[in-house]
Structure 1
Amino acid sequence: MPRLNLLEETRYEKLPVTVYPDQHAASKAVAGRIAALIKRKQQNNEPTVLGLATGATPVGVYNELVRLHKAGELSFKNVITFNLDEYYPMKPDAAQSYVTFMNENLFNHIDIDRANVHIPDGTVALENIPAFCVDYESKITALGGLDMQILGIGRTGHIGFNEPGSAPNSGTRLVTLDDLTRSDAARDFGGKANVPTKAITMGIGTIFKAREIILMAWSQKKAGIIKKAVEGEISGDVPATYLQLSDHVDFILDEAAASDLTRFDTPWLVKDCVWDSALTKKAIIWLSTQLKKPVLKLTEEDYNTHGMAQLAVEQGPVYDINIDVFNKIQHTITGWPGGKPNADDSQRPERANPAKKRSIVFSPHPDDDVISMGGTFIRLVDQGHDVHVAYQTSGNTAVWDDDVLRYVEFAIDFNQSIGNDTTRLNEIYDEMRRFIDSKQPNQIDTQIIREVKGFIRKTEAISGARYAGLGDDHIHFMALPFYETGKTQKNTVGEEDIRLTIELLQKIKPHQIFAAGDFADPHGTHIVCFNIILAALNRLKDTEEWVKDCWLWMYRGAWHEFPTHEIEMAVPLSPQEVLRKRNAIFKHQSQKDRPVFPGDDAREFWVRAEDRNRETAQRYDELGLAEYEAMEAFVRYKF
């Protein structure tokens, strides 16, 4: 895709940005640039000096480079590489080391001379690190500098491990990692406590000397920091903003990572727009929020002074626009998430018929159902719908080891109390203790420990679903195979995952499906589980008549919430319903107080859920709608 050179559209952007439809297309384009550079240098009998990055962002680039090599289109014999960084201390053969990462994702699959591979050494004695860093810089300088440096960006705005506060002329050095950076790495290390506090990194000054710099970012999770890096003022608080000073930098983004940039988020500020219904709703809500005025109080002057004069001229008078948008927002509110029987449903988010619907709530982890839509879940049951819940994964990686011991100790005591022989249980318990006492960070649990962790999550989920009003025959545990690896890194989705989902859907034939659309989930499980549901429905839609009348609603809450302009169904919760939802969440005791993988949000899950639900209600109230205690929000997916 060619770069948009429309000066007016990009006037807020302080460096060149190219946006691709998705990370796969973007990764292929970056790999193409690297390959072209290598071939050009080969023709001149010159080495190519590359600066390489680690993490999830460049994996697609490396995959494409490996493909080109295996296809006989690219050789790396003249390539010399320098990696940006490495944790300290870190053994090169550790699973979390960047040596391991680069070998697994690139070097083991190409014909590079290993003598030409340079990665900061995480085993250097502390007193020798300054000399090592000087030598690392000297090697780059002796080769004439880096021809190209590829970068990712951390949510602190770091490039390499140059955290906030880094100097623009900094060189290779030992640094202390930001707390957020360590939180983001926690899953790879089996908990934040195991993440090193320091790293060796190339400096911003070193990166700046590269003849080409490509910074890549994918997904909505990076959108906020990308906006700061591209449109914000240069600041040590966001080290990536220093790249604005470079004349040879390109930001390569997918649409999700670019979504907060002005030209995509609020395009009326930079260009004339095609004012369809969705954009008009978004703009009016934005204007109301900016001015802290209810929708029905917005004036023509408000429109004219905030980039929306074109809308006022084309569709005015503005009060009519305000009323139309106000009504659209109001029509999203319903106390009947399964549809209101015998009611006019032309202005309601759900259908009136059938009055009693078959509904299935898909929950990626065993607690997402009650965390994200517990109030709606309970209301659907209370209103007499035939509600099922399907727990797609066991969630067994997210249980503390001491909980396993506690449950097995209970089993031993219980069996002893009723006179059962506990010899084998005691043997299993002793084996568990020995394993846990010597367990390394992120080491795969034994099969029996994984099973016990799964049992813990299962019993909690049953308790929560029963509290919501379900009978045991309406509670389904899918244990999708892609998840059951025992590792934080899961397998790719297979045919069995889709087959199990198809079988459950065929059994229930739902009128409504509720599925997690919270793709900010740092583990990636939500989007994988959602795509499995889509794959199953796409296979069924041409052969199963019920699919044509099945609506798919997405929920969020554990990690994020839908923007107000996207919400298509908002279910108000009374104070009592908020408490009922809280109680349902409390049934998941292993996830309370201190979950294994909390992400970067220090709040407990029940607190996050209540805060987000109250914030949604508050946003509706500020727009001029009725004031509710809390709201759960949904968006319909048209498949």
Structure 2
Amino acid sequence: MQETQIIREPIAYEKVPTRIFPNSEEASKAVANEIAELIKTKQKAGQQAVLGLATGSSPKTVYAELIRMHKEEGLSFKNVISFNLDEYYPMQPDAIQSYWRFMKEQLFDHVDIEPGNFHIPDGTVSPSMLAQHCQDYEKKIKDAGGLDFQLLGIGGNGHIGFNEPGSLENTKTRLMMLDQSTRAAAKTDFGGELTKVPKKAITLGVAKILQAKRIVLLAWGERKAPMICNAVEGTVSAQNPSSYLQKHPNALFVIDEAAGSGLKRMKTPWLVEDVKWTNSMTKKAVTGLSIGLGKSVLKLTNEDYNDNGLSDLLASSGNAYDINIDIFNQLQRTITGWPGGKPDADDTHRPERALPKKKKCLIFSPHPDDDIISMGGTFQRLVDQGQDVHVAYQTSGNIAVSDEEAHRFLEFVIDYNKGFNVENKETLETYKDAIDYLNNKKDSELDSPTVRLVKGIIRKGEAKATCRLVGIPAENVHFLDMPFYETGRVQKNPLGKEDVKIVSALIEELKPQQIYAAGDLADPHGTHKVCLDAIFESLKELRHKNYMKDCWVWLYRGAWAEWDIHEIEMAVPMSPNQVMQKRMGIFKHQSQKDGVVFQGADSREFWQRAEERNQGTAKLYNDLGLAEYEAMEAFVRYHF
């Protein structure tokens, strides 16, 4: 593991060695390097390297780096034997969701591993042979000499492999009933329909995992933070199977900052080690203290600071009264009802500039509804206050439309043509073929081009309807259809030059004074991440242009989470009427209501998530001693 890439060294009191990297890319490269070194060491000794491999989003970048090393550096997999952790049951190997197919597409088809040297549990084995199949699978691992290296991910409920909460330490390879939260999280791979997600899976047992000579667990994103914190700092418990790794002599957690955000060394570093009391660190400590004690910032006392591990802050920054006033003022200055800047006002302590009075604002929306869900109130204010607002929908969002919704629209077009005697037999036949395709579509099949086109048109129409409601002219609405997204499946292509070119061209054309972009990276391998990377790459290319000197970039977050209070640099308050107006805008996205495809484990609809999140932010400001608002949307400025 490359020490130079690690941003935090392991902390002694943590019960599993844990290394935190700035992002999943750097972490994945470090893990890939360790695997490559193991393979090469075994090669020199004339031995086989026995790898335990995982599926899911977490190891994808590791596999991509191993492929790169094979193609560019000559890393050979001839001496590799691999055993995968699990497979859905029942599951055909050619199904889109099968782990057999996943591993071939993500790794095996791109390297020189021998065809008979990779093993994956068989999702087609008959029920009567399941027990024997599981025993044979463990015997194959034993006969190969045991696992030299086991790569793991972690589920939102702490599962490793498919060893769900309640799995005991001595469990063997077996058929496992999947937890409801696991199935809900997997809906995205099954067209968003929970009924299509298998209820069972074959999984390597906890006991066999713990027998591996080396174990590395990967975790990216803030949604994994609670379980990572519990596994690293909590007690060993069957309710969090990943905590069993505390007992392993050579286990390591490799995580990014978001996944580590719940650890003490990240959340309250002053309780772990000496810290430099920068303004950001002070703001984090004071707001955390205020929230923890349930006292407004201005009511905090010297005793509160001393009794809660912040005596060093008092020693370096003065008494509580002075610190409180400073932090309170900083919080107050983040609040503005003029996200585009207030004309003819003193902007010394405002988050945005007063000039130019009319700004050209470009809102990037990864999907056709992120703009209204995440910053709908701010969106409306910018328009109402006379800013020149443009919206760029980066992807079509077509995979988030259900087959039934597409079926309904296809029938509408056919009936419309019949009703008006439109003679276009070729077009009608194309749509009829699309309906037939949907009626006979198998789980292993992708949407046909016509179906994908229809689903994209549905999302585009909903976005246009929202823009009409807000007051955006049609010429200010831009559909970018970035190529990386158009795979017809959940798994997207990597960010490409053409994607960046499309984003750069729009920025170059509009020359905006404000850019709003989705900074929600809860899933670092998701669409939001790729869309944000495209914007960042464009900003790098264009930053030397004269017009970019006057461009400020604000990052908003999605319906899943909000910025921490100490990070927020602009908070836009919303009245009850504005909250209702935002809800009406979200309602325009009818295909995303009432059984949305990618709802995830959260059963609330997007308008409910957005309102509760915005109301939660407003309450937090109020609890800290600031004015009481109905709701708030929050932003962080990105300096490029």
TM-score (norm 2): 0.94
1:288 Cα deviation (Å)?
0.7
Paired position in structure 2 for 1:174? 175
Deviations 1:373-397, CA, capped at 9 Å, x for gaps:
1111111111111111121111111
1:301-349 Cα deviation digits (max 9, x unpaired): 1111211110011112111101100110011011111111111111111
* Equivalent pair of 2:392/2:480 in contact (CA under 8 Å): yes
Partner SS for 2:468: helix
Q: Look up the match of 1:582.
A: 583
Which residue identity does 1:172 align to in structure 2? T
Q: Residue 228 of structure 1 aligns to which amino acid in structure 2?
A: N
Shift of 1:11: 4.3
Q: Distance in 2 between matches of 1:414 and 1:70?
A: 53
**Residue identity opposite 2:570 in structure 1:** M
Once the 2 structures are TM-superposed, how far is the Cα of residue 413 of structure 1 from its aligned partner?
3.6
Matched with 2:109 is 108
What is residue 347 of structure 2 aligned with on the other side?
Answer: 345
2:3 counterpart SS class: coil
Residue 425 of structure 1, CA deviation: 5.2
How much does 1:554 deviate? 0.9
What's the offset of the Cα at 1:180?
2.1
Count of residue pairs brought into register by the alignment: 638
2:445 aligned with 1:443: yes
Distance 1:304 1:7 in 2: 26
Q: Which residue of 1 aligns with 2:358?
A: 356
Preserved contact between residue 10 and residue 19 of structure 2 (Cα < 8 Å): no
Listed as ranges, the matches of 1:83-102 within 5 Å are 83-102=84-103
Return the offset for 1:218.
Answer: 2.6
Match of 1:156 in 2: 157
Which deviates more, 566-575 or 449-458? 449-458
Give the secondary structure class of the aligned counterpart of 2:57.
coil
Corresponding position: 1:325 with 2:327: yes
Deviation at 1:535, TM superposition (A): 2.1
Quote how far apart the aligned CAs of 1:259 are.
Answer: 2.9
- C-alpha separation in 1, matches of 2:123 and 2:56: 17
Match of 2:235 in 1: 233
Aligned match of 1:459: 461
Ranges in structure 1 where 5+ consecutive residues have no aligned partner: none
TM-score, normalised via structure 1 length: 0.95
- Pairwise CA distance, 1:141: 2.9
Q: Secondary structure at the match of 2:379?
A: helix
Q: Secondary structure at the match of 1:123?
A: coil
| Cα pair 2:377 2:578 within 8 Å, conserved | yes
Distance verdict in 2 for CA 1:332–1:46, change over 3 Å: same
Displacement of 1:422: 6.2
Q: 1:421 aligns with which of 408, 420, 423?
A: 423
Secondary structure at 1:331's aligned position in 2? helix
Further displaced range: 409-418 or 546-555: 409-418
Partner SS state of residue 554, structure 2: strand
Aligned-partner Cα distance in 2 for 1:336–1:381: 11
Instruction: Quote the Cα distance in structure 2 between the aligned partners of 1:149 and 1:421.
Output: 62
Local SS of the residue matching 2:175: strand
Q: Out of 78-87 and 611-620, give the one that drifted further.
A: 78-87
Give CA deviations for 1:217-263 in whole Å, capped at 9, x if unaligned.
23333223211111112111111011111222122223333232211
Moved more, 323-332 or 474-483: 474-483
Which deviates further from its counterpart, 417-426 or 55-64?
417-426
In structure 1, what is the equivalent of residue 570 of structure 2? 569
Distance 1:51 1:634, change over 3 A: same
Moved more, 298-307 or 67-76: 67-76
Q: Does 1:147 align with 2:131?
A: no
CA distance in 2, matches of 1:190, 1:7: 39
Q: Quick one: distance in 2 between partners of 1:6 and 1:415? A: 62
- Identify the range of structure 1 (417-426 vs 561-570) with the bigger mean alpha-carbon deviation: 417-426
Partner secondary structure for residue 251 of structure 1: strand
Q: Give the superposition deviation at 1:3.
A: 9.2
CA distance in 2, matches of 1:143, 1:26: 29
1:535 matched to which residue of 2?
Answer: 537
Kept in 2, the 8 Å contact 1:8–1:271? The answer is no
Secondary structure of 2:485's match? coil
Moved more, 150-159 or 6-15: 6-15
Is the contact between residue 365 and residue 393 of structure 1 (CA under 8 Å) also seen in structure 2? Answer: yes
Higher alpha-carbon deviation: 435-444 or 489-498: 489-498
Q: Is the 8 A contact 2:340 2:353 kept in 1?
A: yes
Change (3 A) 1:531 1:30: closer
1:112 positional shift: 3.3
How far did 1:582 drift? 0.7
Cα distance in 2 between the residues matched to 1:64 and 1:362: 29
The counterpart of 1:524, out of the listed 523, 526, 529, is 526
1:6 shift after superposition? 13
Quick one: distance in 1 between partners of 2:416 and 2:47? 73
Partner of 1:635: 636
Could you say if the C-alpha distance between residues 185 and 554 of structure 1 is closer, same or farther in structure 2, counting changes exceeding 3 Å?
same
Query: Secondary structure, in 3 states, of the residue corresponding to 2:341?
Result: coil
CA distance in 2, matches of 1:190, 1:362: 26
Unaligned runs of 5+ residues in structure 2 are none
CA contact 1:188–1:442 (8 Å) conserved in 2: no
461 and 319 in structure 1: CA distance in 2 versus 1, 3 angstrom threshold: same
In the other structure, the counterpart of 2:280 is 278
Q: Which moved more, 1:272-281 or 1:586-595?
A: 586-595
Contact 2:9 2:19 in 1 (8 A): no
- 1:263 and 1:475 map into 2 onto residues whose CA distance is 44
Runs of 4 or more, structure 1, over 6 Å off, are 3-9
1:127-150 deviation line (CA, Å, top 9, x unaligned):
211111122222333444322222
Query: In structure 2, how many angstroms separate the alpha carbons of the residues matched to 1:107 and 1:500?
Result: 32
Sequence identity, in percent?
Answer: 56
Alignment of 1:376-395 (within 5 A): 376-395=378-397
The separation in 2 between residues aligned to 1:536 and 1:43, in whole angstroms, is: 44
Q: CA deviation at 1:14?
A: 0.7
Cross-structure match for 1:38: 39
Distance change >3 Å, CA 442–CA 344, structure 1 → 2 = farther
Cα distance in 2 for residues equivalent to 1:609 and 1:273: 35
Distance 1:294 1:103 in 2: 55
- What is the letter of the counterpart of residue 261 of structure 2? S
Deviation, structure 1 residue 499: 2.6
Find out whether 1:29 has 2:30 as its counterpart. yes
Shifted more, 228-237 versus 476-485: the winner is 476-485
2:413 matched to 1:411? yes
Question: In the TM superposition, what is the alpha-carbon distance from 1:492 to its structure 2 partner?
Answer: 2.6
**Secondary structure, counterpart of 1:482 in structure 2:** helix
Deviation per CA, 1:540-589, whole angstroms, max 9, x where unpaired? 2223x221011111111322211111111111100111111111111111
Note the alpha carbon deviations across 1:281-307, whole angstroms, 9 max, x for none. 011111111111111111111111211
What CA distance in whole angstroms lies between the structure 2 residues aligned with 1:532 and 1:190? 26
What amino acid sits opposite 1:469 in the alignment? Answer: G
1:409-438 Cα distance to aligned partner (Å, 9 max, x none): 333444444443364554234212210111
1:375 aligns to 2:400 (yes or no): no
Alignment match, 1:513: 515
Q: Is the 8 A contact 2:514 2:552 kept in 1?
A: yes
What is the alpha-carbon distance in structure 2 between the residues aligned to residue 5 and residue 459 of structure 1?
A: 46
Cα 1:77–1:412 change in 2 (3 A) is closer
- Name the aligned partner's letter for residue 453 of structure 2: E
Specify the code of the residue in structure 1 equivalent to 2:61: G
What letter corresponds to residue 290 of structure 2 in structure 1? Answer: S
- Structure 2: how far apart are the matches of 1:32 and 1:125? 39
- Is the 2:174–2:205 Cα contact (8 Å) retained in structure 1? yes
Contact 2:6 2:20 (8 Å CA) reproduced? no
Rounded to whole Å, the distance in 2 between the matches of 1:4 and 1:521 is 21
Judged with a 3 Å threshold, the aligned counterparts in structure 2 of structure 1 residues 90 and 314 are, in CA distance, closer, same or farther, namely: same
Q: Distance in 2 between matches of 1:25 and 1:135?
A: 37
Distance 1:331 1:7 in 2: 32
| 1:428-469 per-position Cα deviation (integer Å, ceiling 9, x unaligned) | 342122101111226322222222212211111111111101
1:328 maps to a residue whose letter is: Q
Deviation at residue 199 of structure 1 after TM alignment: 0.8
Partner AA of 2:391 in structure 1: V
Relative to structure 1, the CA distance from residue 143 to residue 509 in structure 2 (aligned partners, 3 Å threshold; closer, same or farther) is closer
CA distance in 1, matches of 2:159, 2:461: 42
